[in-house]
Amino acid sequence: MAMSKRGQVTLFVILGIIVVALIVLLISFRREIIPRAATVENLDATMADIEKHISGCLKEAADEPVKRIGLQGGYLSTPEGSYRRWNDYPISFLCYNQAGKDTCTNRFLTKANMEEQLAAAIKENIGKCLDIEGAANIGIIKTFDLVLGNTMDVKATILPDEVKVELDYDVQLKARKSDTQKKQGIFVRAIKAPLGELYDVSQDILDAETVIGRFDQLTYMLAKMSKFTIDVQKPYPDKIYRLKLRENNYIFQFAVEGEPS
């Protein structure tokens, strides 16, 4: 009899654990099981979820090209003859050799050109992480419709201490049984990287290299209150300039083409 009672108690304990587990699962997936009503507040909350997802995707899509464009001297694509390979990186020549002269010819890399390259690379990468329907988490029985635009555009803006990425893409939430709706077309994410500031330093260096054929890095760093670290390597016959802020690990490096003796 005692064994029978202990068996019953054990059975009740097991059943209790199963019931509690089911309740926890129901709570965890309540948004899937019970869809959000299409109120203004719920549409705002759903759009906030979408915006958070897009922001994360923009960062994921932009981090690698923003880092790589700095390591490769302002170019994501490096055609043969346009770079010097050093430490496993194809580092772009930003100044080409002038035969018989100490000076070089500026390649004239611009911020606008880098912005175009970054925008194209980020747009391509977005497809690998963008899942707006999943981010909306609207369940099987929807009380509103998700309407997405037919076109998508990406803009990159290089600022002194960050790269601002803008996604132009229409996302609309429309209630099925009322006129309630929520629409957003521009999503923005800032990628922290002093690409713009280091680009400006590179132009100061190139001005010296094109006019007098050399650059005094020590004098420059002192004049800038040691804000920047400028390292010069000389893999024959070229020069590699590595630039960074003293308090930041982001690197912009480029090559100046030399003439073999």
Interval 27-64: pLDDT, tens: 555 544 455 567 888 889 999 999 999 999 999 999 99
Q: Is residue 9 part of a domain?
A: no
Q: Is 100 left (phi over 0), alpha (psi -120 to 50) or beta?
A: left
**Above 60 in pLDDT, residue 146?**
yes
Q: Name the residue with higher pLDDT: 28 or 18.
A: 18
**Above 80 in pLDDT, residue 10?**
no
**pLDDT reported for residue 135:** 86
What residue has token string 């994501």? Answer: 76
Instruction: State the angle between helix axes of 195-211 and 111-126 in degrees (0 to 180), rounded to the nearest 10.
Output: 140
Of 27-36, 180-189, 210-219, 229-238, give the lowest mean pLDDT range: 27-36
CB 230 within 8 A of CB 217: yes
**Above 70 in pLDDT, residue 13?**
no
**pLDDT reported for residue 33:** 47
pLDDT, mean of residues 75-98: 97
Q: Is residue 7 part of a domain?
A: no
**pLDDT reported for residue 8:** 60
**Above 70 in pLDDT, residue 107?**
yes
**Above 70 in pLDDT, residue 18?**
yes
Q: Name the residue with higher pLDDT: 144 or 15.
A: 144
Q: Is residue 101 part of a domain?
A: yes
**pLDDT reported for residue 143:** 83
pTM for this model (two decimals)? 0.84
Mean pLDDT of the chain, nearest integer: 90
Q: Is residue 16 part of a domain?
A: no
Q: Is residue 4 part of a domain?
A: no
Structural domains counted in the chain = 1
In order of 160, 186, 199, 209, 253, the CA distances from 242 in angstroms are 17, 35, 11, 15, 4
Give residue 92's domain range: 31-256
Q: Is residue 233 part of a domain?
A: yes
**pLDDT reported for residue 26:** 59
